[in-house]
Amino acid sequence: MASAYTPGLLVTESILVKKRRRLPILGEVMVKLGDVVKPHDIVASTYIPGDPDTVNVANHIGVEGDEILEFMLKKKGDKVTKGEVIAKKSSFFGLFKSSVVSPIDGTVDNISSVTGVVTFRKPPVPVNIPAYIHGRITEVMPREGVVVETPAALIQGIFGVGGETQGALVMIATKNSDILSGDKIKPEHKGKVVVGGALVTADALRKGSEVGVAGIVAGGIIDKDLVDYLGYDIGVAITGAEDIPLTLVLTEGFGQINMADRTFNLLKSLDGKVASINGATQIRAGVMRPEIIVPLEHLIKATERSTDSGMEAGTPVRIIREPYFGKLATVHALPPELHVIETGAKVRIMTAKLASGEIVTIPRANVELIEG
């Protein structure tokens, strides 16, 4: 049953990273095949139509819908400014006048001679897609986007918030059990990605925001501290679009959890190098993991991900469901027969040995492999 398991978190010093950078709607690709790009370079751009706004001109000036064209001062496609008169009607030899003004800056998008409603459109919104990572353009999708490729060290986290950003890695922790508190973040960390150990505190998040830290990487966080920082509970939604000034990547889970030795040592070896990080996370439908990418000049070794690697006794895993969410373990045994769980479903289960030495029984779907 090896092929039934999809490898989980990847922690590797060398892998070929490919990032597909695609526009939400058709636009223009700004780079060519083979170009070398930096994280902030714009590789594709487009314009999204602005929001519409409507005014019932016929009602305002007291005419039928099919009569408004003779009173319109603007036609379809004309630019308008907020407060500008766009329709006017005079009656009783000019003694009585009524007019309608534009509610926005934009253009006249449509004039309906049936309803008498005029639709305005706000100016289009520019959308620019940056490269995100330092690499080379290896594929161009005309009018859609590109693929950026680079050899890199890659560390996937278990949970994160905040979007794409970049900064030099700064190891604040000296060991993987250290706590990253607010007093350890200094003004010189502005624009940096600071790395802690077992826990990042709420005070550290606030101090990092004040200082202008680009990102924080730590083993875990107390869930209440994250809710207090965000101002709301994110539940099971996709993260990454939060309106916060920094990006947070948790490598282990919720609570005070020592960062895995492999992860900590790799980050330590990358101290001072520029990393691209993204806190976007989705666990349930279509897995998306927060990540730390540090481009390299070349591949140190060939690294391939295999979806057929499976599990066996001793395989390191991370549990991704309650009541052991975020805990590291090793596979203890893989019974072949199906077992009935609390929901009544029959599933394949496994026994896992936690770091504490406790042996627990869980569905195999509740774990992910930790690759190296």
All structural domains of the chain, each given as residue ranges with its CATH number in brackets, are 52-121 (2.40.50), 158-289 (3.50.30), 316-371 (2.30.30)
d(CA 176, CA 197): 4
**Residue 171: predicted pLDDT:** 98
**Residue 145: predicted pLDDT:** 97
Spell out, as residue ranges, where the chain has pLDDT lower than 50.
1-7, 302-309
**Residue 8: predicted pLDDT:** 60
**Residue 170: predicted pLDDT:** 98
- Quickly count: other Cβ atoms within 10 Å of residue 68's Cβ: 24
CA distances from 15 to 18, 270, 296, 327 (A): 10, 15, 9, 26
CA distances from 254 to 165, 251, 257, 272, 353 (A): 23, 10, 8, 27, 19
Rg (CA), the chain: 28
Bridge partners, residue 96, by sequence:
91
**Residue 288: predicted pLDDT:** 86
Let me know: does 24 contact 124? Beta carbons within 8 Å.
no
**Residue 371: predicted pLDDT:** 60
**Residue 341: predicted pLDDT:** 74
With tokens 């990540």, the residue in question is 291
d(CA 274, CA 293): 9
Q: What DSSP element (H or E) covers 17?
A: strand 9-22
What digits encode the pLDDT tens for the residues 268-306? 999 999 999 999 998 765 578 999 999 998 766 544 443
Let me know: does 186 contact 206? Beta carbons within 8 Å.
no
CA triple 264-265-266, angle to 5 deg: 90
Predicted TM-score (pTM) of this structure: 0.76
Reduced to 3 states (helix: H, G, I; strand: E, B; else coil), residue 189 is helix
**Residue 304: predicted pLDDT:** 40
Six-digit token string for 53: 């706004």
DSSP state of 277: E
**Spatial CA neighbour of 350 closest among 339, 365, 335:** 335
Q: At what angle do helices 223-230 and 202-211 cross, to 10 degrees?
A: 40
Let me know: does 264 contact 197? Beta carbons within 8 Å.
yes
Ordered DSSP codes for 105-153: SEEEEEE-TTT-EEEEEPPPEEEEEE--SSEEEEEEETTTEEEEEEEEE
